[in-house]
Structure 1
Amino acid sequence: MARPYHDCVQIHIRAEPRTVWNLIADVTRMGEWSPVCRRCAWIAPATGPAVGARFVGHNRMAGLRWSRECEVVVCEPGTEFAFLTHVRGRPSTLWRYLLASGDAGGTQVIEQYTVSPTSASPRWAEALQSIPAARRRTRAATRAGMIQTLQRIKTTAEAASLVRP
């Protein structure tokens, strides 16, 4: 089994933390910003963000398509939103968004993920991660996608915000 790995990116957004958090925590909008996630939907009875709420995310990258059931594990308005993806009912990847008031106003946002490979990981994913060049390309593409996602959230939040630099 491969070792756990993680990465993080950050961005400054000229909008209040609560405004930014509201965008991020509305997982039904993630398809607007992410180059990988195409859409998300809450799983009944959930209708919005709350610890324990579940949703399904539908993804596509490099010709591959997959869906993951996710569970919200941290839901602190204006501060943090985190969810855990599941593969075959077992925890797989923790995604976290940490928000803090920036020094120059606005919000500093950190997006991070930690993959904890488990025996539930699909064999093709484990095989892919065992090839160093493929692992580097996959991680580089994930990082690029995170940067693009945060940039798109920034554009949306700043367009809707009255906060000035």
Structure 2
Amino acid sequence: MSDVKPLIEESIEIDATPEAVWALVTDLPRMASWSPQVVKTIVRGDGISLGTRAVNINRRGFLVWPTRSKVVRLAPHTDFAFQVLDNNSVWSFQLEPTTAGTRVTQRREAPNGTTRISSVLVDKVLGGQDTFQSELRDGMRQTLRRIKADAER
């Protein structure tokens, strides 16, 4: 079994204000239009606040699986994070103002690894940690490019 990387991250510069980018990255149902893995996100309740819960439907080829998440960080226009309850990883978007707009960094944090069941599924069904984590990084790049395109319209 390969090790889970404690941190995977990608960044992009977007020609839009942090407020405009914030409105996009905190609109969880739109994640399906940006992420190559997310098919649908269902947010429980109205709006996004600390503790808001959501369900993602994810897909990779013929494989489809749900994940549950909870918003764990919410600092307007700077930091938004949710924890995937099924594997303990934390996904986040950090926004920093730049002279041209906003630098956005997307992260997948797993400082203590993931759950045993998640590790087994990744190793046995999703091609192993190295392959899956490489796909996550590629997916982050694609997600960020798509957010950039929407923000710069």
TM-score w.r.t. the length of structure 1 is 0.82
| Equivalent residues of 1:128, 1:135 under 8 A apart | no
Q: Which residue matches 2:104?
A: 109
**1:113-133 CA-partner distances (Å, limit 9, x unpaired):** 02331234363335468x7xx
Segments of 4+ moved more than 3 angstroms: 1-4, 126-129
SS at match of 2:100: coil
On the 8 A contact 2:2/2:130 being kept in 1, the answer is no
Give 1:62 deviation, angstroms: 3.3
- Structure 1 residues 70-149: aligned runs within 5 Å: 70-87=69-86, 92-102=88-98, 104-115=99-110, 116-121=113-118, 123-127=120-124, 134-149=128-143
Mind listing any 5+ residue stretches in structure 1 that lack a counterpart? Answer: 160-165
What CA distance in whole angstroms lies between the structure 2 residues aligned with 1:121 and 1:11? 29
CA contact (8 A) 1:42 1:55 kept: yes
User: Residues 11 and 108 of structure 1 are in contact (CA less than 8 Å); yes or no, is this contact kept in structure 2?
Assistant: yes
Structure 1 range deviating more: 54-63 or 146-155: 54-63
Q: Supply the AA of the counterpart residue of 1:125.
A: V
CA contact 2:123–2:129 (8 Å) conserved in 1: no
1:92 partner letter? N
1:4 Cα deviation from its structure 2 partner? 4.3
Secondary structure of the structure 2 residue equivalent to 1:23: helix
CA-to-partner distance for each residue in 1:89-139, whole Å, 9 max, x for gaps? xx521001000101x32000000102331234363335468x7xx322211
Q: How far apart are the structure 1 equivalents of 2:46 and 2:37?
A: 23
**Count of equivalent residues:** 150
Q: 1:3-50 deviations in whole A, cap 9, x for unaligned?
A: 54221000000000011011000101111111111110112xx22211
Structure 2: runs of 5+ lacking an equivalent:
none
**Partner of 2:118: helix, strand, or coil?**
coil
Q: Is the 8 A contact 2:2 2:129 kept in 1?
A: no
Kept in 2, the 8 Å contact 1:58–1:68? The answer is yes
- Equivalent-residue separation in structure 2 for 1:113 and 1:147 (angstroms): 12
Q: Determine the structure 2 residue equivalent to 1:162.
A: none
Counting aligned pairs with the same residue, the percent is 31
